[in-house]
Every structure is written in structure tokens, then in C-alpha cells.
Amino acid sequence: MGAGHPREEDPAGMSDQPDKSDKRTQGSNATRVPPVEPGTRAELADIERAILAERGRISILYRVLLNSPPIAEGWEKMLTAVRNRSSLPADLRELVILRVAVLNGAGFEFDAHVPHAERAGVSAQKIAAIKDPRPGPAYTEEEQLALQLTDAMTRDVSVPDALFERLRTHFDERGLVDLVATIAAYNMVSRFLVALKIEH
């Protein structure tokens, strides 16, 4: 696979100010851990600036993460590398992220990444088919293999040798690491979202 791709702005908005209509910023119990209001804790200023620089805003996910500054900082760096510095083509990256969201029942993650997928050129047909029990004909051979890897890692954790050998015919070493890391990272994201009931 080729070199990394330039970062993409957050499609949900560029403002660093929380949505005052969002009850989760006003002490609601919608999330299991209350979000931190950006700009209210001086010790978080550097982390908040880093998040804004990469993502354009501080989403509800990052506002919850800010309850643990070391985790928020590490999370931002890792996910920035996975999304914005990976060798994977953007359309393939977004397909596997959407598939992880479907398998883990993470509606927030799915909805957040549909605009990214659309901007990367993923067709409406492929986005719809990502919810099929076994995505197939809508996708290229490379995409089908990546989605089979996503299913194996997410559902079973272990990956069959035969599948991995087929993946080697489409991805070099960096591509394999980037693909596996993307699937693993977004399993982390989706499970964090679901466990803490972070929703729209």
C-alpha cells in the first residue's frame, strides 16, 4: 500500500464550543460518565488544543475521555495515526470501521463514519451492504478479504491462517499492520462507546 494520507476534518463540525442544545453537556445522565466541558479545566488545555488541531472540535467521545487526561492524550495520538497517517486507502479504511460498528452495535460510531465513507467515495450500495450478515458481491476481492478479516477479529479474535495468506496477496507488511491496527483500534472505540452509553 502507499504512503499515508492527509488528515480529514471532522464532518460533524468545526466549532470548539459544545452544543448547548446537547443535554449531555448540561449534566445529563445519558452517558455513564459525565463529559468534561471544554475550557473548564486548565490542566486539560494542551490536550484540548491537540484534539482541536486534529479533529476540528471536541466531540462527546473526547469530552468523556477527558475525565482521564493520560487516556485522552494517548487515544488522540493513536487514533490520529490510525485514521490520518495509515497507508490504507480511505475508502477501505472506512468500510472496515463501519463493519466494526455494525458488528458491535455501535450506532454512534456508524453514524459518525458514514460521512467519512461517502467523502472517500464509498457508494450508497456498499454502505447499505455493510450491514449484511456476510457482505459479498457489492465489494471487490480486496474489500471482501478486509471485511472477512474484520469479522474474524471482531467476532472470534483469532484469524484463520488461510484467510491471512489470501490477505498477503493484496497487502504488503505495512498494509497488513495498518489494516489489523485499524480493525483493532475501532473495536476499542466501539466497545468504549457502547459500554459508557455514549450516543447522539
The whole-number average pLDDT for the span 51-70 is: 96
Rounded Cα gap, residues 152 and 148, in angstroms = 6
Q: Are 122 and 89 in contact (CB under 8 A)?
A: no
Higher model confidence: residue 44 or residue 15? 44
Higher pLDDT, 18 or 81: 81
| Domain spans, the chain | 23-84, 90-195
Return the pLDDT at 200: 75
Helix axes 141-151, 161-168, angle to 10 degrees: 150
Q: Average pLDDT for residues 106-113, to the nearest whole number?
A: 96
- Sort 158 into a burial class: Cβ within 10 Å, 0-12 / 13-18 / 19+: exposed
Query: 90-195: which CATH number, 3.30.70.141, 3.90.79.10, 1.10.3720.10, 1.20.1290.10?
Result: 1.20.1290.10
168 or 15: which carries more pLDDT confidence?
Answer: 168
- C-alpha span between 93 and 178 (Å, rounded): 9
Asked whether the predicted pLDDT for residue 11 surpasses 60, the reply is no
